[in-house]
């Protein structure tokens, strides 16, 4: 009976735990390309660039519309109008006769105006809008490229920190196994109590290193989630990448030719040039206010009055219906209007100077951007070449550290070497493994950085 109750208790205790495990969400597996696709869809930077492109498209349409006539229509209906006044005296009254008029009226009008000349301001505004529209499209492209590089960078960092965590745990397990061996050797008198204490201290130190590595790995995943802009409570599992492919082929990088190529295909450089041209057209637009403006205007209107009463007497029989009055009372007018502002309180001068200052600032930004691209290309190319050397050195260091640790460990197990020598060999091996992993991911990241700096398209 007691055994049955014990089994039932165990079943009841395990059932909630099994239910919790069953409802625990599965980790969402994501590849690098999937992360890039999600980020491009959700990134605020891309959405802002798309909104700006949409606004520039509306501004371009507005500039095209300035060459078309402006048309407006007016209509009015007065169901009842009462007017009281005095007219010249016919009956001999001292103040004249008092008159009361009641009426119903309708009026319609259409006006069209076409600008013939305004100092070429409309043409300059159109050219500026075209340049800004193209620049907005290129800015959107560069924003996408920035998102791709940023996601790639944090994806690699998350993978690197995960592998460093694995190395730290492997090092901890190795030191824990050695602690077990040292304890047994101490029990039979092959190791001293000092060696046992030192090995225990090293296990504790390696445990702290593993905890720090685990915290860093979690932090890297959180930073990746932040940029993906998905539910932060969603557990994700990123797929590993093959870093050996990027390290097996050494690409020759010529900084000069790469700089020349970057000047042609960097989207932000082309956008800066177009924005500079647009600012130049804005100066021409502002200067157009100094010249006269000539407009061609056309208007047509008609009105009618009905239900007319004069001092209470109905005169509606003297007027045709409103529809007939509107049809027969249409009038037309065509006019040419010239307007030339002789003095506007230096407003035009201020507008021209403001546009010139904006143009100068855009030129400075463009030149600074070009100089920055040249410097970035040279630095990135140098870092890319150095990454290969760093990787080869890390491989050689790992081979030497592995051989040295194996030899020292055998000597330590036989009692021919001390703890200090073994601890130094293990630390060297740990650093060599970590260095090789970091060098491999650094090379892959430098390749991505070189593509981003040189303006390589996302689809290339």
Q: Output the domain CATH number for residue 204.
A: 1.20.1600.10
Nearest to 376 by CA among 443, 451, 314: 451
Planar angle of CA 314, 320, 325, nearest 5 degrees: 125
271 and 217 in a single domain? The answer is: yes
Flag whether 234 is in a domain.
Answer: yes
The CA R_g of the chain, rounded to the nearest whole Å, is 42
User: How high is the pLDDT of residue 95?
Assistant: 57
User: How high is the pLDDT of residue 92?
Assistant: 55
Flag whether 239 is in a domain.
Answer: yes
Nearest to 132 by CA among 233, 280, 20, 313: 280
Predicted confidence band of residue 244 (pLDDT cuts 50, 70, 90): low
User: How high is the pLDDT of residue 423?
Assistant: 80
399 and 335 in a single domain? The answer is: no
Cα 268 to Cα 381: distance, rounded to the nearest angstrom: 20
381 and 317 in a single domain? The answer is: no
- 125 CB neighbour count, 10 Å cutoff: 23
Predicted confidence band of residue 88 (pLDDT cuts 50, 70, 90): low
pLDDT > 70 fraction of the chain, expressed in percent and rounded? 88
Residue whose structure tokens are 């990134």: 43
Flag whether 323 is in a domain.
Answer: yes
Which residues form the domain of 203? 28-68+118-291+341-453
Flag whether 369 is in a domain.
Answer: yes
Write down the pTM of the prediction: 0.79
Residue 155 tokens, joined: 């994806």
- Given a cut of 90, whether residue 374 has pLDDT beyond it is yes
Flag whether 105 is in a domain.
Answer: yes
User: Lowest-pLDDT range, 85-89, 139-143, 262-266?
Assistant: 85-89
Q: Domain boundary at 278, 306, 339, which?
A: 339
pLDDT tens for each residue of 250-299? 667 788 888 898 998 899 999 999 999 999 999 999 999 999 999 999 99
| Cβ(96)–Cβ(87) below 8 Å | yes
- Given a cut of 90, whether residue 89 has pLDDT beyond it is no
Q: How far apart are the first and last CA of the chain?
A: 73
359 and 259 in a single domain? The answer is: yes
Query: CA 25, 31, 32, 34: dihedral to nearest 10 degrees?
Result: -80
Instruction: Output the CA–CA distances (angstroms, integers) from residue 111 to 71, 331, 334, 394, in the order listed.
Output: 6, 12, 10, 81
108 and 122 in a single domain? The answer is: no
- Over residues 89-113, the mean pLDDT reads 77
Flag whether 45 is in a domain.
Answer: yes
pLDDT tens for each residue of 408-450? 888 877 777 777 787 888 888 888 989 998 999 999 899 889 9
Three state DSSP letters for the chain: CHHHHHHHHHHHHHHHHHHHHHHCCCCEEECHHHHHHHHHHHCHHHHHHHHHHHHHHHHHHHHHHCCCCEEEEEEEEEEEEEEEEEECCCCCCCCCEEEEEEEEEEEEEEEEEEEEECCCHHHHHHHHHHHHHHHHHHHHHHHHHHHHHHHHHHHHHHHHHHHHHHHHHHHHHHHHHHHHHHHHHHHCCCCCHHHHHHHHHHHHHHHHHHHHHHHHHHHHHHHHHHHHCCCCCCCEEECCCCCHHHHHCCCCCCHHHHHHHHHHHCHHHHHHHHHHHHHHHHHHHHHHHHCCEEEEEEEEEEEEEEEEEECCEECHHHCCCHHHHHHHCCEEEEEEEEECCCCCCCHHHHHHHHHHHHHHHHHHHHHHHHHHHHHHHHHHHHHHHHHHHHHHHHHHHHHHHHHHHHHHHHHHHCCCCCHHHHHHHHHHHHHHHHHHHHHHHHHHHHHHHHHHHCCCCCCC
- Given a cut of 70, whether residue 329 has pLDDT beyond it is yes
pLDDT tens for each residue of 143-184? 999 999 999 999 999 999 999 999 999 889 988 888 888 888
- Given a cut of 50, whether residue 460 has pLDDT beyond it is no
The total number of structural domains in the chain stands at 2
193 and 302 in a single domain? The answer is: no
50 and 197 in a single domain? The answer is: yes
User: How high is the pLDDT of residue 147?
Assistant: 94
358 and 377 in a single domain? The answer is: yes
239 and 112 in a single domain? The answer is: no
Flag whether 177 is in a domain.
Answer: yes
Predicted confidence band of residue 17 (pLDDT cuts 50, 70, 90): very low
Flag whether 185 is in a domain.
Answer: yes
- 317 CB neighbour count, 10 Å cutoff: 6
80 and 58 in a single domain? The answer is: no
40 and 182 in a single domain? The answer is: yes
Which residues are CB-contacts of 431 (< 8 A; sequence separation ≥ 6)?
Answer: 401
| Cβ(152)–Cβ(32) below 8 Å | yes
Q: Domain boundary at 312, 339, 366, which?
A: 339
pLDDT tens for each residue of 35-84? 999 999 999 999 999 999 999 999 999 999 999 999 999 999 998 888 88
- 301 DSSP β-pair partners: 109, 331
126 and 248 in a single domain? The answer is: yes
Residue 228 tokens, joined: 């993906």
Q: Domain boundary at 339, 372, 406, which?
A: 339
Write b or e for each residue in 435-445: b if 16 or more Cβ atoms lie within 10 A of its Cβ, otherwise e: bbbbbbbbbbb
């Amino acid at each position: 009976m007691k055994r049955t109750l014990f089994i039932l208790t165990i079943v009841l205790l395990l059932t909630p735990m099994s239910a919790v495990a069953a409802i625990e969400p599965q980790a969402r597996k994501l590849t690098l390309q999937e992360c890039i696709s999600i980020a491009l869809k959700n990134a605020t930077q891309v959405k802002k660039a798309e909104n700006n492109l949409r606004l520039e498209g509306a501004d371009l349409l507005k500039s095209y519309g300035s060459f078309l006539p402006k048309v407006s229509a007016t209509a009015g209906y007065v169901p009842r109008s009462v007017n009281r006044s005095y007219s010249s005296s016919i009956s001999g009254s001292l103040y004249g006769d008092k008159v009361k008029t009641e009426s119903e009226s309708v009026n319609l009008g259409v006006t069209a105006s076409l600008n013939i000349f305004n100092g070429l301001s409309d043409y300059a505004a159109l050219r500026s809008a075209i340049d800004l529209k193209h620049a907005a499209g290129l800015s959107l492209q560069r924003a996408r490229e920035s998102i791709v590089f940023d996601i790639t960078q944090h994806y690699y960092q998350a993978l690197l920190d995960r592998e460093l965590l694995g190395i730290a745990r492997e090092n901890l397990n190795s030191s824990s196994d050695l602690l077990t061996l040292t304890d047994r050797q101490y029990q039979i008198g092959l190791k001293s109590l000092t060696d046992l204490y030192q090995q225990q201290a090293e296990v504790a130190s390696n445990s702290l290193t593993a905890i720090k590595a685990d915290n860093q790995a979690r932090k890297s995943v959180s930073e990746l989630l932040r940029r993906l802009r998905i539910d932060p409570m969603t557990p994700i599992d990123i797929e590993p990448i093959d870093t050996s492919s990027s390290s097996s082929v050494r690409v020759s990088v010529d900084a000069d030719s790469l700089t020349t190529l970057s000047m042609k295909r960097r989207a932000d450089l082309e956008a800066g040039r177009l924005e500079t041209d647009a600012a130049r057209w804005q100066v021409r637009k502002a200067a157009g206010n100094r010249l006269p403006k000539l407009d061609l205007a056309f208007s047509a209107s008609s009105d009618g009055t009905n239900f007319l009463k004069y001092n209470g007497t109905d005169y509606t029989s003297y007027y045709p219906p409103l529809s007939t009055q509107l049809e027969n009372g249409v009038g037309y007018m065509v006019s040419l209007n010239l307007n030339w502002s002789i003095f506007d309180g230096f407003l035009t001068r201020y507008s021209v100077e403001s546009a010139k200052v904006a143009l100068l600032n855009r030129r400075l930004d463009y030149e600074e951007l070009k100089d920055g691209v040249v410097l970035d290309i040279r630095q990135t190319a140098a870092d890319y070449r150095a990454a290969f050397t760093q990787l080869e050195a890390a491989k050689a260091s790992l081979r030497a550290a592995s051989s040295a640790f194996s030899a020292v460990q055998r000597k330590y197990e036989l009692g021919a070497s001390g703890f200090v020598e073994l601890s130094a060999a293990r630390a060297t091996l740990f650093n060599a493994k970590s260095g090789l992993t970091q060098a491999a991911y650094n090379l892959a990241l430098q390749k991505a950085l070189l593509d981003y700096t040189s303006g390589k398209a996302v689809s290339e």
